[in-house]
Amino acid sequence: MWNILKEFLEQYFLLGLFVGILYCFLTSTYDFWEKRGVPFRKPTILFGNFAPMLLFRKSLPEGIMEMYEWFKDDRYFGAFRVRSPVLILRDPDLVKNICVKNFACFSNRGIPVNSQDPLSAHLFNLEGKKWKSLRSKLTPAFSSGKLKRMFYLLVECGEEFQKLIDTSSETDRPFEIRELAAKFTIDVIGSCAFGIQINALTDEESEFHKAAKKFSMPSYKATLWRMLRTAMPKLYKFLGVQVIDPGVTKFFKDVVLQMINQREERGIKRHDFMDLLIELKNKGTLENESGNGQVCNDEDAEATEEIELDENSIAAQAFVFFAAGYETSSNTIAFCLHELALNAEIQEKTRRDIEDAIDSRNGKLTYDGVQDMKYLDMVIAETLRKYPPASLLSRRCEYQYQIPGSKVELPAGMRVIIPIYGLHHDPDYYPNPATFDPERFTEENKQTRHPYTYLPFGEGPRNCIGMRFALLQIKVGIISFLRKHRVEVCEKTIIPIKFSRRSLVTTSEKGFWLRIVQCP
């Protein structure tokens, strides 16, 4: 009897010891901000301050907004992701320091790249010289000249999209607008990035459509790891976690290899991004608008030696182009049309702006005509203000850094979070932030605001490289809707929108249901 009791006590003691050690490990960092005199909220064991988001009880925009309002009178405050201390900024001047002035210290996002996830080695995740080299190589691919040359591809997709909208408007039933927009963006990206006529507008069984659905609706496990990998990068690498579906990885690698072989064998030229990536692979640089090879300084040349663009690298860049352009653009189109359906006067003014620009060019949609649609610009800017695709930006401190105007020093490895959604909904910068008001983005009104309170595409050297293409794609999508139609709310319209708790991108939990009506 005594032996059984002794064995039980020993096991109980070992269990208690293990729990005690685990508790000490998980909480050993929780005095970090207190020691430095930085305001912070008491964290929860295992989750830190991010429990509502990690447990999918709140969407990322809601969680970030709630945290942003914790310390309204402070320029910054501390929080914890699991057990890792992070600094959250509220002051746009500090945001400017992190993104631009002190970029050398905050040049990396700190997102680990896994060998098991070959598509994760793309521009968004790469660091140091590899990032700098690839960024300098890819930047010319997004010049206004290159975009203008491939604009005809967007027009072709827009014309097919209009046919689908025409058909949809013939019935009186509501449509899920994001689904329609997603078909358009898949076709655009397939055409502009891969040179493939996907026909997602009519064929929902296309392989691209299937890959898009797998990517946009990842498992809860994959979503959780995407949120945790920056808080626990060593564990993420050790476990060899694969957050991108293996089927999606195989599909993209196969498609890219097939396209490279076809174009090199047949000498096909479409002036799309696949042409530019193949040119980079073969020549190492892109020709600029005058036809000369891209010139880089000695520092860039040194960085260029760090990375070669092979088939895997091309597949990774093509994948991030697809992932970033498909989901964020279709959501922005849907959010924009949702707001226009709620605001009939703004919708009519937008339609007139579109019609005037097209009519002045003999009824043709041209690149220059799109640039002249100034009110449409304002409408999209306000959509991105109210519904930024990313709720936050994250940067990793590369060496010890003293916060300007304070005695607080951040150690190397510390993460700094910029709460985009919070800044975009701060009434100090945007009065009545819940109101959809494109007039906020007149040239006069923009001059009255701190520029670093508006960050839908990030800022500084690490901003979104595809920003101009994304805006062009969004504009053509909205023009296709409003050129001959209007959108109206219906019995299935969700008001107010409830954000998805599972998505890392700002989107609706219940979809965007509207009625499409043909204009006389």
For 471-502, give the DSSP string. HHHHHHHHHHHHTTEEEE--TT--SS--B-SS
From the list 389, 393, 385, the residue with the least C-alpha distance to 425 is 385
CA angle 449, 451, 453 (to 5 degrees): 80
- Quick one: which H or E segment has residue 88? strand 84-89
Residue carrying the six token digits 């195989």: 250
Are 63 and 420 in contact, with CB atoms under 8 Å apart? no
Q: Given the DSSP bridges, would you call strands 409-410 and 401-402 parallel, antiparallel or unpaired? A: antiparallel
From the list 322, 130, 313, the residue with the least C-alpha distance to 213 is 322
Structure tokens at 443: 């040239």
Structure tokens at 49: 């301050």
CA dihedral 80, 397, 59, 225 (to 10 degrees): -80
- Quick one: which H or E segment has residue 438? none
Are 459 and 138 in contact, with CB atoms under 8 Å apart? no
3-class SS of residue 240: coil
Q: Report the alpha-carbon distance of residue 198 to residue 210 in Å, rounded.
A: 12
Residue 291, class by beta-carbon neighbours within 10 Å (0-12 exposed, 13-18 middle, 19+ buried)?
Answer: exposed
Are 69 and 426 in contact, with CB atoms under 8 Å apart? no
Residue 137, class by beta-carbon neighbours within 10 Å (0-12 exposed, 13-18 middle, 19+ buried)?
Answer: buried
* 336 marked among binding-site residues: no
Phi (first) and psi of residue 168, to 5 degrees? -65, -35
Q: Report the alpha-carbon distance of residue 420 to residue 441 in Å, rounded.
A: 17
CB atoms within 10 A of CB 213: 13
Q: Report the alpha-carbon distance of residue 370 to residue 311 in Å, rounded.
A: 35
- Quick one: which H or E segment has residue 422? helix 420-424
- Residues contacting 318, CB < 8 A, separation 6+: 193, 194, 252, 255, 256, 273, 274, 277
How far from each other are the two terminal CA atoms of the chain, in whole angstroms? Answer: 92
CA angle 173, 178, 180 (to 5 degrees): 65
Are 327 and 470 in contact, with CB atoms under 8 Å apart? no
- Which residues belong to the annotated binding site for heme? 464
- Which residues belong to the annotated binding site? 464
